[in-house]
């Protein structure tokens, strides 16, 4: 990846709907150059897809929480398989430190969150959990 590739990714990160012609104009290169670069970035897996990013008004009414899980040794595969079946679980990350997994959960309300946390806590292999409810987003640079 060179500077042009990084500039393309930066512009698309801000607006994934930007046309090839607009990208070419802003970056002062030929349209065919942008098209070739996009195809290479897609083929190599650097660009995995194009999506939309919801604004805060669309996220209203969704309660978000981060949940830290400690799990039994060698239980991770089974726990992850069961977490996949819970629609409120948006993301799961492996971590270093005293917790094994970090999850991002989104629920309609506190009652649903409570049910989801109970469901996770009862899973075979889960030793303990700690939940952090998201109050407001102060910085969001995620692409």
Domain residue spans of the chain? 3-43, 56-133
Convert the pLDDT of each residue in 126-141 to its tens digit.
999 999 999 988 887 7
CATH number of the 56-133 domain: 3.30.70.920
- pLDDT for 61 equals 67
Residues 6+ apart with CB under 8 A from 143: 9, 13, 53
Find the range with the poorest average confidence among 52-61, 70-79, 86-95, 114-123. 52-61
CATH number of the 3-43 domain: 1.10.10.10
Give backbone dihedrals phi and psi of 86, rounded to 5 degrees, phi first.
-100, 110
Distance CA 110, CA 64 (A): 10
């Amino acid at each position: 990846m060179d500077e042009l590739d990084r500039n393309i990714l930066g512009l698309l990160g801000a607006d994934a709907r930007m046309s090839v012609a607009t990208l070419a104009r802003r970056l002062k290169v030929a349209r065919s150059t942008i098209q070739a670069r996009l195809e290479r970035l897609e083929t190599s897996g650097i660009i995995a897809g194009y999506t939309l990013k919801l604004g805060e008004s669309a996220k209203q009414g969704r309660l978000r929480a981060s949940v830290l899980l400690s799990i039994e040794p060698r239980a991770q595969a089974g726990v992850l398989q069961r977490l996949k079946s819970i629609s409120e679980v948006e993301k799961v990350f492996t971590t270093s430190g005293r917790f094994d997994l970090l999850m991002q959960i989104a629920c309609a309300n506190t009652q649903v969150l409570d049910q989801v946390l109970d469901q996770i806590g009862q899973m075979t292999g889960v030793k303990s959990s700690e939940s952090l409810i998201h109050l407001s987003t102060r910085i969001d640079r995620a692409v």
